[in-house]
Each structure stands twice: as C-alpha cells, then as structure tokens.
Amino acid sequence: NEEWDKNGPANEEKEPQGYDGPPGMDPDGIIESNWEEVVDNFDDMNLKEELLRGECQALILAPTRELAQQIQKVVIALGDFMAAQCHACIGGTNVREDMRKLETGVHVVVGTPGRVYDMITRRALRTSHIKMFVLDEADEMLSRGFKDQIHDVFKMLNSDVQVILLSATMPTDVLDVTKSFMRSPVRILVKKEELTLEGIKQFFVYVEREDWKLETLCDLYDTLSITQAVIFCNTRRKVDWLTENMHKRDFTVSAMHGDMEQRERDVIMRQFRTGSSRVLITTDLLARGIDVQQVSLVINYDLPSNRENYIHR
C-alpha cells in the first residue's frame, strides 16, 4: 500500500509532461483503479466501530447561524439513504440540548465557531475521529473576529485532518492567512476579472441626498412586480429605522439582524423561505450563502463596504 500524507500520495509519481498545475488536477489525466473486492454495505468494509456507529467525522464552520442551519439541511438530504446524522451547534440555542445530541453520536457537526469551540472544551464534541474540517465563506471567517476562534478549534484537531476552504471570493490577504494551517493545498480559484454576476441585471438609482432614499424605495416597491426581495442595510440600527418607516407607510416588510433572539430569527427566516413574508430587510447577516430560490430582487439601500460583499449579496 502506498503511503499517504495530508496532501495525497507521499511517493507520488512525476506528473506527465505538458502539465504544470497542482498534482492530481491534470484535466487530461487518467485515474487508474486498483480495486480487488466489492462490498455492498458498510458492515462488510471493516470500518472501525466508532466511525460506523456515530463518532463525528466532519466538522463544518459557517459565519452565521442561519447559514449553519441551511448547511445542516443539505447534509441531511445528501446523507439520507446512508442515515447520516448531522447536528447544528449554534449560539442562542440550549447548550444542554446540544450536549445531549452530540453524546448520542453524530457523523457531521456544522456550526458557528463560538458554540462549536464551547462544545469541544466541554468534551461534548470529541475531535479524535474528525477527518475533515471545512470553513464555509472562508474569507469572511478568516478576516473578521472569528480568526482566533477558528485557530482555537483547529488546534484541537488531529494533525492529518483534511482542511477545505470554500468561498465565492478569496482576497489575497486571506489566502496568505491560510498558510498557517494548510500545507501545499490545491487551489481552485476564479480569476478576479471573471468573478462577475453573469445573468443578473444590475441597476442604480442616483439619489442626491440620503433622506431621499426612503421615498425612492417606496416608489420602487409600488412599481415592481416582485416575487420576493431582500433589502440590505449596513447597520442593525438602519434596519430597524427602515422597517419602522416602511411600516408607517403601510408596506408589509419583515426585518432580521444579529441583535434579535434566535427564536425570532428562526421564525422570520421560516416565513421568508415559505413565502408568507415577501420583503426582508436585513444586514450582511444574510449576505453570504443563504439560498432562497424565489428571491427575484436584491436592493442595496446602503452600498456594501467592500466589493466581495456586493457579489455575495
């Protein structure tokens, strides 16, 4: 058997001539199989009992509670026929309930950094069998206040854990940060000039004064036949202010931001996903990764503070 390290076969043969990209990524390469035996169920694969019956094997971190919950639903759907167990560890929920669920055994844990780290330090989440560590919206995670928490979690994992970073945008400074916990990673990147919003029509309305924005938004609301819309503001205070003023003008809107209780956030998100709420005013809390197919319009009431967030919104 050939020896493997974190980045693939240690005794890997030289890549064929004419290709100078990362090992294993040659688009014209041939992967040879060397199987000798076929099994049709897990019990015949001689897997370790603790892996087969529920020790955590993958840890996924996301920047927001809503994104973590969405990822959990996707993992459960993907692993449905294998009875894969996935639990979301997020702030604002019952700590003891999290601990109880983890102790019964789950294969995949997805969560926000603070609560996941808390579960590890309480020894409710055992890391000894975790094979894969995934950071979703990695540039957001590594450039904000999460960085220290992520390093704390990473230090608790085995040295040979596979690390995967995912994001639609990956600034150079964030790529530099990844060197501290990735060894010779394969990078699959989109050229900056190719990172466009293809197929999405973009318009801007020139408003000379800040206090004219509200009337402009109300005019838009009246004239556009939209399925569902998200309106982004840069601060929680602005979200509350805009929601209050839209309500005064008898527009039906809902609002969501990080100061709200988790239970309230869950209700608002559920109403928006089911379509019972048509217009949602929010901060960049929902700018990344959240997928609501019915949304046909995104309004930047405030321009985002950076190029990346414009693309994510």
Chain segment 111-152, per-residue pLDDT in tens:
999 999 999 999 999 999 999 999 999 888 887 678 888 989
40 inside domain: no
Kindly report which listed range (66-70, 218-222, 282-286) carries the lowest average pLDDT score.
Answer: 218-222
161: pLDDT strictly greater than 60:
yes
Q: Which pLDDT score, from 0 to 100, does residue 113 have?
A: 94
For 228-248, what is the mean pLDDT? 94
User: Could you tell me the CATH number of the domain that includes residue 253?
Assistant: 3.40.50.300
Q: Which pLDDT score, from 0 to 100, does residue 52 have?
A: 58
286 inside domain: yes
What is the CB neighbour count within 10 angstroms for residue 119? 23
Asked if 156 and 217 sit in the same domain, the reply is no
Alpha-carbon gap, residue 31 to 167, rounded angstroms: 27
Q: Read off φ and ψ for residue 163, nearest 5 degrees.
A: -110, 130
Alpha-carbon gap, residue 108 to 102, rounded angstroms: 10
Q: Which pLDDT score, from 0 to 100, does residue 106 have?
A: 93
Calculate the average pLDDT of the chain.
83
Structural domain including 299 reads 210-312
97: pLDDT strictly greater than 80:
yes
5: pLDDT strictly greater than 80:
no
- pLDDT band of 89, cuts 50, 70, 90: very high
Asked if 230 and 303 sit in the same domain, the reply is yes
Asked if 81 and 161 sit in the same domain, the reply is yes
CA distances from 197 to 68, 290, 313 (A): 24, 16, 10
69 inside domain: yes
92 inside domain: yes
140 inside domain: yes
Q: Which pLDDT score, from 0 to 100, does residue 51 have?
A: 53
Alpha-carbon gap, residue 273 to 221, rounded angstroms: 20
**pTM of this prediction?**
0.67
199 inside domain: no
What is the CB neighbour count within 10 angstroms for residue 17? 6
For 239-260, what is the mean pLDDT? 92
- pLDDT band of 79, cuts 50, 70, 90: confident
Q: Which pLDDT score, from 0 to 100, does residue 75 have?
A: 94
- 84 CB-near residues (< 8 Å, 6+ apart): 75, 76, 78, 107, 108
Q: Which pLDDT score, from 0 to 100, does residue 44 have?
A: 65
277: pLDDT strictly greater than 80:
yes
Reading the block at residue 6, the tokens are 């974190």
196: pLDDT strictly greater than 80:
no
1: pLDDT strictly greater than 50:
no
For 166-189, what is the mean pLDDT? 80
